[in-house]
Chains A and B, each alone.
Chain A
């Protein structure tokens, strides 16, 4: 069941096409990584999903229903370039943003208290935004995004500007929100967070979607059939189509060797072949990182 389906979205600005026939399917309760280099069209796509912009053609369905003004309340959006009213108090600001999303005053006040306590910021409620550190301001922005308990949370580079401790706090919150039923679109070009968070991804480059699917499947698809082995004692020649790509001598007669295996190969056979020649200390398949897939796909296109 998909929470959001975008079908054949096209959007052009005065002098260039921002999106060309982009379709996406975002499963319920997933963390969906929307990836792509700067200027690929991610922000435009997000703005169409959040009804800030209107697509030239194509449709967006939310819960199977064409996007309309009522959906504003089920979407929470944290833009990449974001800010708050500097001269407004933390509590008032959150209340204002929550009420714009359609919460009643009392519900909003309850949730604001809960979230501020949860993120250890309760005592800042009456302070002006400008008195807060940048990290704290970003936490407030995060709270503002999720206060109305949206089904779809769109986070555009949510970790930029956070220190590692806050990154972990926010990451845990994102996971918790997902576990409680929310679906998250996570737009970034920082691959390490994709690696640890996303279960689905789509890659957009030059206004077109060039890759999408489950992260696991994509990695599978891009596996290079390479194994990395650390062993004591050298390996001589190997048959069965095994190919030694490189060998690196480590200390104490230890070696690190990369071996390419044929398609649809059983790793146990490779183990067996090496075991006779050398003592194995470490054996692992080299799985391409999202970073490598990203770079190879994007550079392939240009």
Chain B
């Protein structure tokens, strides 16, 4: 046991000390945060400029009905359309809204002229104002009085709640979906990245021929497990540094720029959220509050469990590949079948996220080879405890079996050089007396 620790320590220290590891670990979250920050910054800059929309209302129905906001100013002019069009530059380049003398029953011919394509949010606001006003006029003509109208006017925002044993919690569909997607992709990426590192490490030892010296001191299985555990620790370190840095950078960014609430509105506006829900957004929680509704600690803990479980499963398979081949170049043929379940998981992820409790989702989150990616995709939507427990148990059983198989093939493989290896050889090695 003590000797496994020595191997773990070597694997860990030599990797963590590498310049490439330090750069990647520190730069990734900064890069990511920088990117998001830049986007938000650009969005705020964009927002600061107030757009002036010139309105020519031949119908006379919409006088002062358009509400000026921080970013939109409506300017009413009593000009004819042709003059206004030719003077568009002087009036303001942002837009010229022309409302002809329309028939209330069939409002046609309302036009918005502008030099560039109008912003989606602008168009939305104009359309919804027009619709609302025409509806009002129609209702008044049908004899509905102002008071009734006020009673009728209803604003609805569906608050999504997730029902858990610990009580109701506000949830947010977009945030849930995003978390699911990101954590699935991340675990896929981690399993791949660190699995391949195990394989490369085994190939290095075999190729360098240091392996024979080492296994005259420790058992091959100890060497393999030490390597797998050491690299797992590297992976966890990287993950934790990313999480901590992301939190630090985001909160630092948010407090410095002071756009916590702004950012939320900008994000939802640029996502094309419709005007009325925009107004509601003021009263309902912002993006940051919505993010708080995802149980991040729970997602992170399950992420670590599935990362470790899935990693042990795949790493031992990758170790077999490393022990079977003589060089990196030969590893392709054996790597392919290992990566298939991972690739299938990623392909199936779309279905799973659309139907996180469906048959595909359930079964793929039980099979150990696919469960890490798929279960991580299901977890933010809520998974019954028994399913989680079953899936984790199967995953643990899975990696115990693969590690055992891997150990038997590995001990023969690392000492075998120069022979052509195929699946039959691997089977033979598995059954070979040691």
- In the complex, identify which listed stretch (A77-85, A210-218, A293-301) lies at the interface while the others stay far away: A77-85
Q: Does A292 contact B (CB under 8 A)?
A: no
- The answer to whether A77 touches B433 (Cβ under 8 A) is no
Residues of B within 8 A of A84 (CB): 208, 210
- The answer to whether B216 touches A87 (Cβ under 8 A) is no
Q: How far is the CB of B166 from chain A (nearest CB, A)?
A: 48
Name A79's contact: one of B10, B213, B218, B428 (CB within 8 Å): B213
Instruction: Determine the residue in chain B with the shortest Cβ distance to A73.
Output: B217
Q: Does B215 contact A (CB under 8 A)?
A: yes
A85 to B209, CA, bound (A): 9
Residues of A within 8 A of B415 (CB): 47, 52
- A75 and B216 in contact, given A87-B14, A100-B3 (Cβ under 8 angstroms): yes
Name B433's contact: one of A54, A100, A101 (CB within 8 Å): A54
Residues of A within 8 A of B262 (CB): none
Q: Does B163 contact A (CB under 8 A)?
A: no
Q: Does B240 contact A (CB under 8 A)?
A: no
Q: How far is the CB of B205 from chain A (nearest CB, A)?
A: 8
A54 to B219, CA, bound (A): 12
Q: How far is the CB of B5 from chain A (nearest CB, A)?
A: 10
Name A56's contact: one of B209, B215, B433 (CB within 8 Å): B433
Which 10 residue pairs spanning A and B have beta carbons closest together? A83-B208, A83-B209, A100-B217, A79-B212, A77-B216, A50-B216, A81-B209, A83-B210, A101-B217, A99-B6
- A88 and B14 in contact, given A72-B217, A81-B417 (Cβ under 8 angstroms): yes
Q: Does B423 contact A (CB under 8 A)?
A: no
A-B contact pairs, 24 of them (CB 8 A): A56-B433, A72-B218, A75-B216, A77-B213, A81-B209, A81-B212, A81-B417, A82-B209, A82-B212, A83-B207, A83-B208, A83-B210, A85-B204, A85-B208, A85-B210, A87-B14, A96-B6, A96-B10, A97-B213, A99-B6, A100-B3, A100-B7, A100-B217, A144-B213
- The answer to whether B216 touches A52 (Cβ under 8 A) is yes
Q: How would you classify the secondary structure of chain B's contact residues: helix, strand, loop or mixed? A: helix
- Interface bracket on B: 20 to 34
Q: How far is the CB of A109 from chain B (nearest CB, A)?
A: 15
Q: How many A-B residue pairs have CB under 8 A?
A: 63
- The answer to whether A53 touches B216 (Cβ under 8 A) is no
Q: Does B90 contact A (CB under 8 A)?
A: no
Q: How far is the CB of A186 from chain B (nearest CB, A)?
A: 16
Residues of A within 8 A of B216 (CB): 50-52, 72, 75, 77, 79
Q: Does A14 contact B (CB under 8 A)?
A: yes
Q: Does B434 contact A (CB under 8 A)?
A: yes
Name A52's contact: one of B6, B209, B212 (CB within 8 Å): B212
Instruction: Determine the residue in chain B with the shortest Cβ distance to A96.
Output: B10
Q: How far is the CB of B91 from chain A (nearest CB, A)?
A: 69
Residues of A within 8 A of B209 (CB): 79, 81-83
Residues of A within 8 A of B213 (CB): 77-79, 82, 97, 141, 144-145
Residues of B within 8 A of A99 (CB): 6
Q: Does A117 contact B (CB under 8 A)?
A: no
A140 to B27, CA, bound (A): 37
Q: Mark A48-80, 1 if CB is under 8 A from B, else 0.
A: 001111101000000000000000100101110
Instruction: Determine the residue in chain A with the shortest Cβ distance to B7.
Output: A100
Q: Does B214 contact A (CB under 8 A)?
A: yes
For window 165-207 of B, CB contacts with A under 8 Å fall at 204-205, 207
A195 to B97, CA, bound (A): 106
Residues of B within 8 A of A51 (CB): 216
- The answer to whether B215 touches A52 (Cβ under 8 A) is yes
Q: Mark A143-166, 1 if CB is under 8 A from B, else 0.
A: 011000000000000000000000
Residues of B within 8 A of A281 (CB): none
Q: Does A86 contact B (CB under 8 A)?
A: yes
A54 to B217, CA, bound (A): 15
Q: Does B432 contact A (CB under 8 A)?
A: yes
- The answer to whether B417 touches A53 (Cβ under 8 A) is no
Residues of A within 8 A of B3 (CB): 100
Given contacts A52-B415, A79-B216, A96-B6, 16 further A-B contacts (CB under 8 A): A14-B428, A52-B212, A52-B216, A72-B217, A77-B212, A78-B213, A82-B210, A83-B207, A83-B209, A84-B208, A84-B210, A85-B208, A97-B214, A100-B217, A144-B213, A145-B213
Q: How far is the CB of A104 from chain B (nearest CB, A)?
A: 11
A82 to B210, CA, bound (A): 6
Q: Mark A99-132, 1 if CB is under 8 A from B, else 0.
A: 1110000000000000000000000000000000
Q: How far is the CB of A97 from chain B (nearest CB, A)?
A: 7
Instruction: Determine the residue in chain B with the shortest Cβ distance to A55.
Output: B433
Residues of B within 8 A of A83 (CB): 207-210
Q: Mark B117-141, 1 if CB is under 8 A from A, else 0.
A: 0000000000000000000000000
